Amino acid sequence: MTMKNHMAIICAALSAVALAFVQVGCAREISSTKSSRVSSDGTVRSQEKTVTRAADGSTVTKTQESKTTVHNKP
Protein backbone atom coordinates (compact mmCIF):
# COMPACT_ATOMS: atom_id res chain seq x y z
CA MET A 1 0.00 0.00 0.00
CA THR A 2 1.19 3.43 -0.78
CA MET A 3 1.10 6.47 1.43
CA LYS A 4 -1.90 7.84 -0.51
CA ASN A 5 -3.88 4.67 0.21
CA HIS A 6 -3.07 4.91 3.93
CA MET A 7 -4.17 8.55 4.04
CA ALA A 8 -7.40 7.74 2.18
CA ILE A 9 -8.24 4.95 4.61
CA ILE A 10 -7.48 7.13 7.64
CA CYS A 11 -9.60 10.00 6.27
CA ALA A 12 -12.51 7.65 5.56
CA ALA A 13 -12.34 6.14 9.06
CA LEU A 14 -12.19 9.56 10.75
CA SER A 15 -15.14 10.77 8.65
CA ALA A 16 -17.20 7.76 9.70
CA VAL A 17 -16.44 8.34 13.38
CA ALA A 18 -17.22 12.06 13.11
CA LEU A 19 -20.51 11.32 11.35
CA ALA A 20 -21.53 8.96 14.15
CA PHE A 21 -20.97 11.68 16.76
CA VAL A 22 -22.90 14.25 14.72
CA GLN A 23 -25.89 11.96 14.31
CA VAL A 24 -26.09 11.16 18.03
CA GLY A 25 -26.37 14.83 18.98
CA CYS A 26 -28.19 15.85 22.13
CA ALA A 27 -31.73 16.64 23.19
CA ARG A 28 -33.07 20.06 22.28
CA GLU A 29 -35.66 21.91 24.36
CA ILE A 30 -38.76 22.73 22.30
CA SER A 31 -40.90 24.43 24.94
CA SER A 32 -40.96 25.15 28.63
CA THR A 33 -43.77 26.50 30.79
CA LYS A 34 -43.88 27.41 34.47
CA SER A 35 -46.96 28.24 36.51
CA SER A 36 -47.78 28.87 40.16
CA ARG A 37 -51.05 29.06 42.06
CA VAL A 38 -51.66 30.26 45.60
CA SER A 39 -54.68 28.83 47.39
CA SER A 40 -56.64 30.57 50.13
CA ASP A 41 -54.78 28.67 52.88
CA GLY A 42 -51.39 29.97 51.63
CA THR A 43 -50.32 26.77 49.88
CA VAL A 44 -48.31 27.44 46.72
CA ARG A 45 -48.54 24.87 43.93
CA SER A 46 -45.95 25.15 41.18
CA GLN A 47 -45.80 23.22 37.93
CA GLU A 48 -43.00 23.13 35.36
CA LYS A 49 -43.48 21.40 32.02
CA THR A 50 -40.63 20.85 29.54
CA VAL A 51 -40.85 19.29 26.08
CA THR A 52 -37.59 18.13 24.49
CA ARG A 53 -36.82 16.53 21.12
CA ALA A 54 -34.23 13.77 21.03
CA ALA A 55 -31.73 13.29 18.21
CA ASP A 56 -33.89 10.50 16.76
CA GLY A 57 -36.88 12.87 16.43
CA SER A 58 -38.92 11.57 19.35
CA THR A 59 -40.37 14.02 21.86
CA VAL A 60 -40.31 13.69 25.64
CA THR A 61 -42.59 15.65 27.98
CA LYS A 62 -41.50 16.08 31.59
CA THR A 63 -43.82 17.57 34.20
CA GLN A 64 -42.58 18.52 37.64
CA GLU A 65 -44.98 19.62 40.36
CA SER A 66 -44.25 20.94 43.81
CA LYS A 67 -46.34 22.06 46.77
CA THR A 68 -45.17 24.49 49.42
CA THR A 69 -47.17 25.10 52.56
CA VAL A 70 -46.64 28.32 54.46
CA HIS A 71 -47.14 28.00 58.20
CA ASN A 72 -48.22 31.21 59.88
CA LYS A 73 -46.77 31.56 63.35
CA PRO A 74 -49.28 32.85 65.96
pLDDT of residue 20: 62
Give me the number of domains the chain comprises.
Answer: 1
Higher pLDDT pick, 59 / 16 = 59
| DSSP string across 13-64 | HHHHHHHHHHHH---EEEEEEEEEEE-TTS-EEEEEEEEEE-TTS-EEEEEE
Domain assignment of residue 73, yes or no: no
In tens, the pLDDT along 11-57 reads: 788 787 776 665 556 778 889 999 998 888 888 889 999 998 887 78
β-strand partners of 62: 50
Domain assignment of residue 74, yes or no: no
pLDDT of residue 34: 92
What is the span of the domain harbouring residue 20? Answer: 3-67
Contact between 23 and 55 under an 8 Å Cβ cutoff? The reply is yes
pLDDT of residue 35: 92
Domain assignment of residue 15, yes or no: yes
